[in-house]
Amino acid sequence: MSPRGPLHVAFVIEHAYVDALACFREPIKAFAALGARVDVYTRLTPWHPAPTFVDPNVRVIPLEVSYIGAARLAAQLVAHRPRYAVVFAAPQWGLRWAVIAAALSRTPVAYISDELIVDGELTTAVQRRWKSRERRAHQRCAFTIALSEERADFLRGLNRLPGDHPIHLVPNSGPGPALRQSSHFYQDLLGLPPGRCVLLHAGGMGWRPAQALAAAAAEWDDTAPAIVFQGRLPSQMRSCVSGGAVWYSPTTLPADRLDHAVSSAHIGLALYDDHRANDRFMGTASGKLCLYMKNALPVITTRIACFDWVEREGCGVCVGHIDEIPAAARAICADYDRYVAAVQRYYAAHLDFAHAFEPVVQAVEGLAGRRVGPE
């Protein structure tokens, strides 16, 4: 530990699921593990599970997305002592107020690019005004964390960043090797036959491809793979009825239990809407895809250029339509061990968070003028 005490780092994440996504959860945990004091400013709602961080170096501070909440947040960021070494913020609301506070406290702000918000897809004057605010705030940030190479290149032009603005590539993934736990979680929970291939869709149900798949698979018979939907919100899943080849998990899971559940599936589904820029530039920003591969599952994903590497590296199969999913699953199962080995190799080489995050730690150390961890 530094004789001046530990560094203090803040995360301003207005999303209520801050510990559900690796792009937020893992940086928070990484800095805490290095001995930094980490304050997480986030929304707490009755509809989302409360974030759980077991490290005593992490403190969760509720924020309110309102004018009063913005004033309170800015005051907290400015008044904090010792001064934060860096404030990480996601667009748009939290980023705006973090940058305003930084102008008073002279604290560096780092931009975490989770969702791409694109001018051409905005439909109201309010949305366009917020995009202009985001762009100006982003240009004042010390550096950016982008979750895929495609997003880094697109984001630099989208937000008109100067050529020397540092962008660090950190996949939306967890640390360590890709390993499968011994698990029969969904087989036991849902009564699935042990020999049936299980395809898992983990995440929100609001994605258009997921809804189309659920409707189609409800008509499939017992010879088709079982499609399991693991939702994030209890309220979202209560209205869903299992049928055909579709099963809806009746329970939501905290992040520390998700690996055990995912390991009981055989193939992960990462389906995206190629009509949206956020999806077209997804790649390793896909939390679903990285979650599956962390648990050594081969994947089936949408045939979009950002996922070309999935087939090229032997990690899974890309499909152009949901009707192709059963055949893709059969192809993977016919050579399953080879696909699993390819997933493990690719994860170790390209998706291990611990390796990818090191340049971010170095960037924070450079801004603070000293090391984050023990000296």
Phi, psi (5° rounding) for residue 143? -165, 170
Residue 237 has pLDDT above 90, yes or no: no
**pLDDT value of residue 371:** 87
SS (H, E, C) 209-249: HHHHHHHHHCCCCCCCCEEEEECCCHHHHHCCCCECCEEEC
On average, the pLDDT of the chain sits at 91
For residues 140-163, give the mean pLDDT.
95
**pLDDT value of residue 194:** 85
Residue 348 has pLDDT above 80, yes or no: yes
**pLDDT value of residue 235:** 59
C-alpha to C-alpha distances, 134 to 73, 113, 184, 259, nearest whole angstrom: 17, 11, 44, 34
C-alpha 46/C-alpha 68 separation (Å) is 20
Homologous superfamily of the 8-170+357-368 domain (CATH): Glycogen Phosphorylase B; (3.40.50.2000)
The pTM (predicted TM-score) of the whole model is 0.91
Lowest mean pLDDT among 52-61, 181-190, 226-235, 286-295: 226-235
What's the token pair of residue 208? Answer: 């258009």
- Report pLDDT digits (tens) over 209-233: 778 888 888 888 888 899 999 877 6
Residue 4 has pLDDT above 80, yes or no: no
Residue ranges, CATH 3.40.50.2000, the chain: 8-170+357-368, 185-351
| pLDDT band for position 207 (cuts 50, 70, 90) | low
**pLDDT value of residue 1:** 39
For residues 259-280, give the mean pLDDT.
93
Return the CATH class of domain 185-351: alpha beta
**pLDDT value of residue 375:** 58
Lowest mean pLDDT among 146-150, 181-185, 270-274: 270-274
Residue 350 has pLDDT above 70, yes or no: yes
- Report pLDDT digits (tens) over 55-92: 999 999 999 999 999 999 999 999 999 999 999 999 99
